Each structure stands twice: as C-alpha cells, then as structure tokens.
Amino acid sequence: MYFKFLSSLGMLLFATALPAQTVWQFFSARYYLDMPNGSEKSDRIRDLEYDGWKNSDTLIDLDQKQHIRTVDLSPLVDDMGDAVFLVPEVSPEFSGGKAGLQEYLQKYLGDLMAGPNEGVENTIYVKFVVQKDGSIQGVSFANPAPDWISPDIPQRCLSAIEQMPPWTPGSYRGRPVKVALMIDIGLK
C-alpha cells in the first residue's frame, strides 16, 4: 500500500469508547480515506467488505526484510451501540478539505507546527469521532506524547481539535455514519 502524508499533517482513522486500535489500522485506513469519493472508492470498499474488512499491508523493516501484515478495518460498535467506521464510503471532510484543515491548525498551532519546508521533530496523534451530524466528539490522544515534550504542547493540540467547527459527515451506503479519525500534528 502507498501512504500519502502531508508534511506536517495527516488524517487517520480512530474511535473513542471502542476496543483499542493499532497504528497499523490507522495507516491501512488512510489508504482508503485518501481515495477520492466516487465509484472506484465504493468498489474498493465493497471488495474490502467482501474480504471481511481484512486488508494486507506490505512492510519493509530496517534490514530490508519484507513483512505482510493483515489488518482488520471492520466497523466497530461504540458505547451507544452505533457503528463507527474506520473506512467509510464517503470520507468526512473539514470545510476547505485538507488545505482548510491545515490552515485551521496553523492558525491555532502556528508556532508549534512544522511548516512544509521544516523538519518534523515530534508528532502528536489526536483522535476523535466525526458524528453523523458532523460534530466532533471524543477528542483524546491516540498514543502518549513523548516525555521530552512540554505537557502544555499536547494540551494545545487537543484544544485545537476540540474547538474545530463541524465537518461534513462521512457516509456508508448513502447514510451518514460516525467515522473515527486521527490527525497527526508534526511539531518543530
């Protein structure tokens, strides 16, 4: 699989009040999220569903050995009994798309975020769920921030996500669905 990353920002899937997710699920889901919405994406999602929501990724380690990892991307059930999708047919979208999201985060975190031509020193992963109405809930860290990062920096990242305006919700088979996302914020 090919994973497309923005220099200081990427989107991945995750959910709150669900069984623990792995980083591999996020990266596998990113492949589908980054696809343009339309018939080709719907066909790929149907194939994934037919295969039991199992996706195989090829990984190459530091010794150049190839490993194949199978990842489960099936929808999960949250504490309210609703399905939360890791791979929706139509991905949720921030107003203005990825560029709009980048601009929004730059506005709130500009002094922290690494720009397109700057190296990323650390990454903070923040997860949340885009509800059926586009509202954001369940904002939290997807993994612990490194100890050497000042505690106020991850908190600023959480606050920026909590204050986001509503997104255009995701959908599956023509109906709005909850979709779990994760944003990775590259820090200077």
| Interaxial angle between packed helices 23-33 and 39-50, expressed in degrees from 0 to 180 and rounded to the nearest 10 | 140
Q: What's the Cα-to-Cα distance from 125 to each of 32, 39, 67, 103, 172, rounded to whole Å?
A: 19, 31, 25, 18, 25
What are the pLDDT digits (tens) for 29-38?
Answer: 888 888 998 9
Q: What's the Cα-to-Cα distance from 178 to each of 34, 116, 151, 169, 171, rounded to whole Å?
A: 17, 31, 30, 8, 8
| pLDDT of 116 | 66
**CB of 71 closer than 8 Å to CB of 56:** yes
| pLDDT of 17 | 42
φ/ψ (deg, to 5) at 153? -70, -55
User: What are the residue ranges in the chain where pLDDT is below 50?
Assistant: 1-20
| pLDDT of 19 | 43
What are the pLDDT digits (tens) for 152-165?
Answer: 888 999 999 999 99
* Full-model pTM: 0.79
| pLDDT of 101 | 92
